[in-house]
Structure 1
């Protein structure tokens, strides 16, 4: 979910979506890793761990717009560690504001009219036949209008949505739908609470004959829970409840803190912790085994305003963009482990680890932290863990711990890897087949213009900028640059040329094209005057 949570909720601002010196890391990092794994094996009794039928779920969100990132940050559907995941959710489809039905977010990337990424995603079953592949609907950006409120307020709108989404899911072959409306009654009317309940209950009834899963990503903030969810009824209708237990703090605040603490530090607001959210959802009527605990694979960063680097220190704003994701205030785990190798100082605080270097501060979850959270899941009898999002783990293994070290550690701690390092199949015999943001989504609208007649079929171009030979440069006057290019007449539009065709794109509503990052971003980060024409 485009990771915006309580921080945005409490401040109502437009916030976005063991490290030490290098010699220490190079000399003892691997030893430390195996020591932690040894503790996990000891806790679970050694040998082949006993699988918890309902407690070993690993729900992996795949942020499809990572396909457009550049260099080592580029992430394709083939990079999803599906062997570790029990469920993978394609983020995101969106709600059409006119028809109030589900529609692809990026038709060029998602559908057969372009790169056909939905089909590539569904082929993940070839690597893990037991995995459940769901389509996510919504996200932070898509929730920033009244369209979801309009949908749930009228029975005929809900019925039309249900009939359309059933056809969509079954035609493609998805295993279910994950609802990511952020959040009912948050900026909408109080009637959203009842409307959301009716929506999920009606979807449940319609999905049951087709054995489709219905899940939802929900807030961990008390005020949003109270305003937006009839917890007992919603939890009964859903197969899984994905708790967004992260982004409790961020650069929209003027003091630094870990954004996903398992327990609150001394003196901290007790409601801004993972444990509080879990206990509160259960208190309100959610069964423990349906709750799936969200774990972030990224950190939230600040620029300090003074010499104090401790938790609670004053900050002047977001931390500097990382070298790969290039997102102010957010660092992917692969950027964090590289920062460690560059000499950033690690401190293990009471509410989680953090790194400092000069005036930069970032709080995050490391291997030890995610193992602790996985053990918490088992101890509380929860349904499993949810990861936002898999594109931000060290998926290339660039820091020396192998690919996806956080996901692998969670898989180990939940008993999904035996003591030989092999992923064990999950026993789903009792399961019903009938669920943030660091980065804003990428383009959602595509149109194609043919500039002259051609008898040769032209294939859609790769979405990543590249440098073709001079004979590939189009004579069309729109094509002044190679790769994706800003539209001089619009902040929201951009295009790309391929042979005799011009592919026009439009950013999601409210976002601007930023040429320097070759992506869509919030207007304050991508003002029109900074576009490169």
Structure 2
């Protein structure tokens, strides 16, 4: 009887673990090259804050084979091995290899998906990458089918590619995820949503970047209404709620105001804001930079999002309160969980309070 009770307890715990909501932590490994307190490596990762760690990025060559984009970092410095070793800290952690990303473009992926031989090269090289390095699965981040040099056939070819990957992964128990454009305009152009959903374990919906300086005016990076519209569109097109992972950006989009006295949402801008002390790119600031700026900050209730400004600089981003709103929505909709792009721009050193305030907010809502 005691053995039976022990077995039931173990099975119960396993069920809880397997049914746990996803907290997918994307990690841009190039943050190792940032200076000062912006430098981020494996030692800065708290493995217990993630159910999945998405190691970003790998690319492909013209034959469809997956290739490293930084062999010195991946292998000479041993970042892949160190990332996989985080499973010693959290035995339930899944470490995924992420292939693609914005900088990889779309044309090579379009060619690969539409060519049987190149698809097989991709699939076989994926199996080798996962098996040889101890990864638990693959996250395919093609930005985007039928866009940026792609073609209409990408939509159906993407379904074929995912189906073949799923079949190849099945004997090994590898997970298969994808990262997708969120809004209806992008999603309707790029995806046969109901069909791709059949072949993946989860779908990371990139619910951010809804406003950019190229719009000519300030706007919110991830307003609540926009993420709700995006998720509702994916659901309406046949994506199961329990496969949708809500994206949270740990960064803000920045704008240079045309007139510093006009500093409200929708005010005219003349271009991107200045580069941050860590990230170093115009138009973009990490939350770890924003929280130290001491700019004038406003929380916009209509958009459930903050913005901040100083002089002619303006930024829209997420903070603890807006992330709470997003997680409440994810819970109401019974979504699979949340992902963060990306953990190295959260306040991981705790300069503005506790370490990882945004990632911990996600965990407090979804897991703790």
Q: Give the TM-score normalised by the residue count of structure 1.
A: 0.64
2:224 alignment partner, SS class: coil
Identify unmatched segments of 5+ residues in structure 2. 1-15
Q: In 1, Cα distance between the equivalents of 2:191 and 2:343?
A: 27
Cα distance per residue 1:419-460 (max 9 Å; x no partner): xxxxxxxxxxxxxxxxxxxxxxxxxxxxxxxxxxxxxxxxxx
CA distance in 2, matches of 1:310, 1:135: 40
State the 4+ residue runs in structure 1 displaced beyond 2 angstroms.
Answer: 51-56
Asked if residue 248 in structure 1 is aligned to residue 199 in structure 2, the reply is no
Residue in 2 aligned with 1:232?
194
Say if 2:308 is the partner of 1:308: no
Is 1:74 the equivalent of 2:39? yes
Q: Which runs of 5+ in 1 are unaligned?
A: 1-50, 264-272, 418-533
Q: Partners in 2 of 1:248 and 1:152 — Cα distance?
A: 28
Report if the CA contact (8 A) 1:55-1:377 is conserved: no
Q: CA RMSD in A?
A: 1.3
Q: Deviations over 1:116-163 (max 9, x none)?
A: 21111111111111000000001001125x211110111122122212
Say which structure, 1 or 2, has more relative contact order (CA 8 Å, 6+ apart): 1
Q: Which residue of 2 aligns with 1:286?
A: 239
**Structure 1 residue corresponding to 2:298, chosen from 347, 365, 374:** 347
Contact 1:282–1:288 (8 Å) recurs in 2: yes
Partners of 1:212 and 1:225 lie apart in 2 by 26
Aligned to 1:276: 229
> In 2, distance between residues paired with 1:279 and 1:151?
31
Matched, 1:65 2:5: no
1:327 matches 2:291? no
Alignment correspondent of 1:475: none
Contact 1:55/1:289 (CA < 8 Å) preserved in 2? no
Match of 1:381 among 317, 331, 334: 334
**The one of 316, 326, 336 aligned to 2:290:** 336
The structure in which a higher percent of residues are helix is 2
Secondary structure, aligned partner of 1:339: coil
Larger Rg: 1
Q: Give the CA deviation at 1:276.
A: 0.9
Q: Does 1:124 align with 2:89?
A: no
* In 1, Cα distance between equivalents of 2:73 and 2:18: 36
Instruction: Indicate which of 149, 152, 158 corresponds to 2:119.
Output: 158
Distance, in Å, in 2 between the alignment partners of 1:150 and 1:324 is 36
Aligned-partner Cα distance in 2 for 1:164–1:107: 16
In the alignment of these two chains, the number of paired residues is 349
Distance in 2 (alpha carbons) for counterparts of 1:333 and 1:287: 31
Q: Which residue of 2 aligns with 1:143?
A: 105
